[in-house]
Structure 1
Amino acid sequence: MRRTTFRKKIVIVGDGACGKTSLLIVYQNGQFPERYLPTVFENYISRVELDHHKSVELALWDTAGQEDYDRLRPLSYFETDVIMICYAVDNINSFQNVRDKWLPEIKHFCGNNVSLVLVGLKTDLRSESRSTVSHQQGLKLAKEIGAKYGECSAKTNEHVQDVIRLAAQVAVKPKNFFKRRLQCNIL
């Protein structure tokens, strides 16, 4: 039987220092970066095997979450298949910004037809921090915004592969396939 390979673009957004770059570095290299390196834009290419007959070549676009880059970041949204909205489970503000900042930005530049994956990062800090976002709170928000949901810890490499695989699975089954490419607006 013939093997099918898809090419998909996934843009990763979320507040600065929520763990987006660490997620991608651990996914690519298997090693956690011990110091914080702010990102402007970084791209990674990866192949994910979905089954014996289907694989996905992913272009993973890491974006800057800081307000200084609010005008530059929308350039990354063009022809996006999936947007991963990330937050740190130990930072309630980053969780609130999913609804207050990231969703409005995505809807403004991509309309309602881009597929979403909500990702809770830094799950290893749940045991260390008093106030964290629970798994159930993440699931509830994902349902409210029409996203799939995953969690991981880049530091312990727990569920990192699962989160990227989830985004790949969502990418090959896009929402409103025929309309999607026409929806992202760059102004």
Structure 2
Amino acid sequence: MEDIAVKVLLIGDEEVGKTTFLSRISRGSNNLEGHGSITLLRDIDQPFVFEIRNRRRGYRIEFYDTSSPEDWRLLEPDLILICYDISQRSSLVNMQRLWIKQVHATFQASDRIPLIVVGLKRDLRSESDPNGIIYPQEAYNVSQEMRVDKYVECSAVTGELLKLAFEEICDVAVKTATPDGGQTEGGCVIL
């Protein structure tokens, strides 16, 4: 049986950590704990392909970052990850004001495409900047307002929550290939 291809699009501001996230997970499940250095992937090598198997079949998960495809708006993604930098309030605001609107304006089937908000650079969350700090509950509330399916956060540099975030993304990606699809039954799930 041939592997099922699932297209995953990462969108968000520049420098929020999308490439670092993809670079870390590209090194395999043994490197999800954040050990070792990260060699950044090159945008021209997209899509970044990950093959996973469950008991029933194999899946070819193709990750696309907005920084490389000539026009990412021409892609037909099965899952969209809206990424923001936990240490930069402006990226949270842009996610809410710009990126979710881009999704709905660009993709005709946006009401059927599962959406996951991914908080990146968790290791840079700083208690010393009370105005800039974004706590998980605040980002979760924003995610609920945006009506996304899940909220996850992690650090690709330290590996904190990276394995859990990657597993959740893969779980939703696999579900997009089922008749029920990958969307949740109403409400955002925080992980």
Which TM-score tier does this pair reach, normalised by the shorter chain? 0.7 to 0.9
The percentage of aligned residue pairs carrying the same residue is 26
Pair 41,47 (structure 1): closer, same or farther in 2 beyond 3 Å: closer
| Matching of residue 7 in structure 1 with residue 5 in structure 2 | yes
Query: Distance in 2 between the 1:32 and 1:137 partners?
Result: 31
CA-atom RMSD in angstroms: 3.3
Q: Which whole-Å CA distance do the structure 2 matches of 1:117 and 1:17 have between them?
A: 18
Q: Which amino acid aligns with 1:48?
A: I
Q: Structure 1-normalised TM-score?
A: 0.76
- Hey, what does 2:51 align to over in structure 1? 47
1:150 aligns with 2:147: no
> What's 1:109 paired with?
106
Cα distance between partner residues in 1 of 2:14 and 2:147: 23
Measured in 1, the distance between the counterparts of 2:120 and 2:90 equals 13
* Residues 4, 177 of structure 2: 8 Å contact kept: no
Alignment partner of 1:149: what SS? strand
CA deviation digits over 1:133-155, x for unaligned, max 9? 11111211222222211001011
1:99 matches 2:102: no
Contact kept, 8 Å, 2:81 with 2:118, in 1: the verdict is: yes
Worse-superposed segment, 162-171 or 94-103:
162-171
Alignment of 1:43-82 (within 5 A): 43-49=47-53, 51-64=54-67, 72-75=71-74, 77-78=75-76, 80-82=77-79
Describe the SS at the equivalent of 1:172. helix
Q: Which runs of 5+ in 2 are unaligned?
A: 183-191
Give the length in aligned residue pairs: 170
Runs of 4+ in 1 over 6 A off after TM superposition: none
- Judged with a 3 Å threshold, the aligned counterparts in structure 2 of structure 1 residues 103 and 175 are, in CA distance, closer, same or farther, namely farther
| Alignment partners' CA distance in 1, 2:44 and 2:11 | 11
**Could you tell me how far apart the structure 1 residues matched to 2:177 and 2:55 are?**
24
**AA in 1 matched with 2:46:** E
- 1:41–1:61 Cα contact (<8 Å) kept: no
1:19 and 1:88 in contact (8 A); partners too: yes
